[in-house]
Structure 1
């Protein structure tokens, strides 16, 4: 069981971050989320770097004063010729390997994921570098089997979690189930007010999403085992929402911060 002290929580500069799809081809708009006064502290983009060939239209002089968390999106990308962003501390594993939608994931069995995970673990060369688990789309058994198969020396330090739901109670219940099962500090890398079940309606108004963000970010900030979190909805092209309702958008198609985006930048619930 992970012990998370009050002192550790007090040292944390802020948990909230931004996800940004590399399909946007530039990281320039990400800087808007980290302007003076922003409460956000980190970002990620489902890939290994935020400035380089994977985001080729990024301005060469762009500076983002925030932590970047690289990710190996799927096992075959471990040796794709692209390097990790220099200075990384947390390396995220595979994105929704239990999911069959090739637009967002590469379905991989736990057994097939293990050798690649072991290879990734060899990239840890400094004491402050840590691994973050693969983030499943919802199949907890996938993650349980994976954790049982990997060598103990490669156990992740943090658990990546995705939660899409439309009620605060369901949101908390889902995260608590992950915590009770794995007892690892959680990085909630994707969440929004959205249901992917056909009989469960999505948000009915923009205000609902503002309220949902307020409730969830307050709970996340106050819950000791939540290490970091990032709302899903920072993109210009609505295609990159992958079915998540546009009420969740933090940026519009012109690259301007939405009112919900400003709420998030300013603390989510403050």
Structure 2
């Protein structure tokens, strides 16, 4: 349930959501994913806000009929002077702190991430507000060390996970690895048909990605320990794909929903 004070309204619960780069400077295009009949229920943008100074080109009267899940992108942003907007229930931790690419992450050791995490935990003032773990690029060891360092009372309620692979089998295997290690409900807040291994080719056709989305979203919807998920590919500017193949796009560079985007809006699978 969302707080209508932040311009949002409740809608039927579903697991599927949208990731939208705050660097697009406007949340207006996000509303297209939540028009009447959409089966999507939430959105996030790697930031604390979906409206206001951090996304300055957003229309002041914009209403998005979905939950917004804020994120503190890196530990330094805990004290950047921007407070969370009203109505939040989940708060995501740091983005890929095990990753050295400064275009997408701030590389941080587990030890250095702990003080900011403790500070974030103090923002939970209501029983239904919950923490979501940092989302690593792939280092289970980073997360394991982090979990040994944080105070028990700050343990997250959910585990954020990123998965980039090109087969359904490897997709399931990677997620199962996280589940078996941590036994926390999973929020898969980034996934697409893409491998960053130079020896693994990307998708060879648009149809491959349609099929991959169908398989993965069906499995995600049917797997009890998956709490939420969001496909990576919602943006207008190709730069914001950060190397993920264009076949994964849910929106084109003119701000129009792609056929893959419509598949996702309609549930991802039959």
Same fold (TM over 0.5): yes
CA-based RMSD of the aligned residues comes to 0.6
Deviation at 1:225, TM superposition (A): 0.1
* 2:221 alignment partner in structure 1: 221
**1:56 offset after TM fit, Å?**
0.2
Q: Which residue of 2 aligns with 1:6?
A: none
3-state secondary structure, aligned to 1:142: helix
Matched, 1:25 2:43: no
Residue 5 of structure 1 aligns with which residue?
none
Q: Distance in 2 between matches of 1:249 and 1:83?
A: 31
For residue 243 of structure 1, what is the aligned residue in structure 2?
243
1:240-267 deviation line (CA, Å, top 9, x unaligned): 0000000000000000000000000000
1:85 Cα deviation after fit: 1.8
Distance apart, 1:150 and its partner CA = 0.3
Matches within 5 A, 1:91-170: 91-170=91-170
Residue 13 (structure 1) shift: 1.8
TM-score by length of 1: 0.95
Cα distance in structure 2, aligned partners of 1:255 and 1:65: 19
What does residue 3 of structure 1 align with? none
1:82 aligns with 2:68: no
CA distance in 1, matches of 2:26, 2:163: 26
Q: Give 1:184-263 correspondences, 5 Å limit.
A: 184-263=184-263
Give me the whole-angstrom Cα distance separating, in 2, the residues matched to 1:205 and 1:247. Answer: 7
Offset at residue 43 of structure 1 (A): 0.1
Distance in 1 separating the partners of 2:26 and 2:119: 29
CA distance in 2 between partners of 1:102 and 1:13 (Å): 34
Question: What is the CA deviation profile of residues 194-243 of structure 1, one whole-angstrom value per residue up to 9, with x for unaligned ones?
Answer: 00000000000000000000000000000000000000000000000000
Q: Which runs of 5+ in 2 are unaligned?
A: 1-11
Moved over 2 A (4+): none
Instruction: Give the 3-state SS of the residue equivalent to 2:160 in structure 1.
Output: strand
For residues 111-149 of structure 1, the C-alpha deviation after alignment (integer angstroms, 9 at most, x for no partner) is 000011000000000000000000000010000000010
Superposed displacement of residue 19, structure 1 = 0.2
Matching residue of 2:175: 175
**Corresponding pairs, count:** 259
Q: Distance in 2 between matches of 1:127 and 1:150?
A: 20
Number of the residue aligned with 1:8: none
Post-superposition offset of 1:83 = 1.3
Give ranges in structure 1 of 5+ residues lacking alignment. Answer: 1-11
Deviations 1:164-217 (A, max 9, x none): 000000000000000000000000000000000000000000000000000000
Alignment-derived partner of residue 14 in structure 1: 14
Distance in 2 separating the partners of 1:82 and 1:67:
19
Q: Deviations over 1:24-69 (max 9, x none)?
A: 0000000000000000000000000100111000000000010000
| Shift in Å, 1:81 | 1.1
